[in-house]
Amino acid sequence: MAVLVIEDEPGISDFLRRGLEAAGFTVHIETDGHQGLMAAQRADIDLVVLDLGLPGLSGEQVLVRLRATRPALPVIVLTAKDSITDRVANLEAGADDYVVKPFSFSELLARVRARLRQPDQSSPVLLTAGGIRLDLLTRRARVQAREVALSAREFSLLEVLLRHPGQVLSQTQLLDQVWGYDFDGSSNVVETYVRHLRRKLGADRIETVRGAGYRLVEG
């Protein structure tokens, strides 16, 4: 699989190249936002590691533009910013994960592998409930006969809900399963993404259970 690293610091990009290649990945490096955005449009790119402090076009701008053209491409943001506001802003813009500098390579590698993990062949590849069909292989979602375009994060959140139809899932459970690391439980990022899904799927398909969490309506 191919990983695109968009990073303007030579020491970091070289460090990532050596580590990712040793782990079996094909690695492409770009050092400014404009070239990085162009490279990310290539069909052979499977994941992007994106620095925010880029010349030419900021990482935030790259992320927003990339989500408009390749909404399902996994993007892991690298940044020195560690405030809750910064985390929420980038996750809501479409980042799939968030790694703060300085970081350990083992941590980054684990997150890359998690985002590229293929569905277990013993698990169902088609999830259905409440008139929704989610194909885990083609990454396509349908509501009745209508195909719905989902971002990578929206897809992951809907997948968790579809695996537990009718079951109430707390915000903490959803953060753990969808975001994959210890994100601040006081954040409203789950509420934000539930709102996105309601807008795309229909307002009555995901129920809020006050004080408990969220539930996918089966009927």
Identify the CATH number of the domain defined by range 2-116.
3.40.50.2300
Residues of the chain with CATH 3.40.50.2300: 2-116
The C-alpha atoms of residue 75 and residue 95 are separated, in whole angstroms, by 5
Q: Which helix (H) or strand (E) holds 119?
A: none
Higher confidence at residue 29 or residue 144?
Answer: 29
Strand 146-148 relative to strand 206-209, pairing: unpaired
CA dihedral 140, 207, 180, 84 (to 10 degrees): 120
Residues of the chain with CATH 1.10.10.10: 126-216
Say what the pLDDT of residue 96 is.
86
- Report pTM: 0.56
DSSP three-state, residue 47: strand
151 Cβ contact partners less than 8 Å away, ≥ 6 residues apart: 67, 71, 72, 94, 196
pLDDT in tens, 84-95: 666 677 677 778
Q: Which helix (H) or strand (E) holds 190?
A: helix 189-201
Say what the pLDDT of residue 118 is.
47
CA 188 to chain centre: 16
pLDDT in tens, 178-187: 764 445 555 6
Q: Does domain 126-216 have CATH number 1.10.3720.10?
A: no
Using an 8 Å Cβ cutoff, are 26 and 2 in contact? Answer: yes
pLDDT in tens, 100-147: 887 777 778 878 988 887 444 445 678 899 899 998 778 889 998 899
Q: What single-letter DSSP state applies at residue 178?
A: I
The C-alpha atoms of residue 193 and residue 175 are separated, in whole angstroms, by 11
- Copy the structure tokens of residue 55: 């010349």
Say what the pLDDT of residue 80 is.
78
